[in-house]
Amino acid sequence: MATRARALRRHSFTVMTMAYPAARSGDARLHRIVRFAGRPNMNCQRSVRAAALAAVALTAGCAAFTSAPPPDAGQPAAQAPAASVAPALTLEGYKKQAARHIVTASPEAFDGKLPEILKSVVVLDLTIDRDGKVVKTTVRRSNGYKDLEATALDSVRRAGRLPAPSAAVHRGAPTITYLETWLFRADGRFQIRSLAEPQPVAAASALQ
């Protein structure tokens, strides 16, 4: 009997040791499990194991309930809004903005270095109202390639409404008028002078 009592006390101590983290939280069910495990019966070892497993399950359940879910890795990060382009304050600055708008809509435009000899140079006279609408476009100067003149005119029409000129550019006038130059290479593709790199000296022969 003394040996059995010591074994029961040892089993009860084991249950209390394993169940201690959850028992401290005041879980009434766990206290009942501990008291039951301390009673002398023939299934003491099974009761001890069951009580220990119950304590571990309750502790893990509390931790899972209080843990915050991990962030969703697939959710895209918030992006800052793109900064708007400031209106140009000079006519030369406005010509660059308008030229960028035109070449963006023109498949015939190209980037990079201009050739030493140009096939054609077309100068257009552009009239723009305060809202950026192209009121009038005429050919001011050309060296006779009508198809390239048409390409220059079509590039302006394809671009649609241009950026609205600022008050510093139109200065209270209903419209602004300026000249812009289309520089064509041999394959019929072009650059606009306001955006082009410095032109080679030999390219001037296209105007003669």
Residue span of the structural domain in which 37 resides: 2-66
CA neighbor of 164 nearest in space, from 202, 193, 116, 132? 132
* Total domains, the chain: 2
Q: Is the domain of 62 the same as that of 101?
A: no
Sign of CA dihedral 32, 34, 35, 39: positive
Q: What is the pLDDT at residue 86? A: 85
pLDDT digits (tens, 9 = 90+) for 53-66: 544 444 444 444 44
Instruction: Collect all residues with Cβ–Cβ distance below 8 Å to 180 and sequence separation of at least 6.
Output: 95, 98, 99, 123, 124, 126, 192, 193, 194
Average pLDDT over residues 70-78: 47
Confidence of residue 71 (pLDDT cuts 50, 70, 90): very low
Q: Is the domain of 98 the same as that of 199?
A: yes
In this predicted model, which residue has the larger pLDDT, 8 or 119? 119
Q: What is the pLDDT at residue 84? A: 60
Q: What is the pLDDT at residue 89? A: 93
Q: Is the domain of 107 the same as that of 179?
A: yes
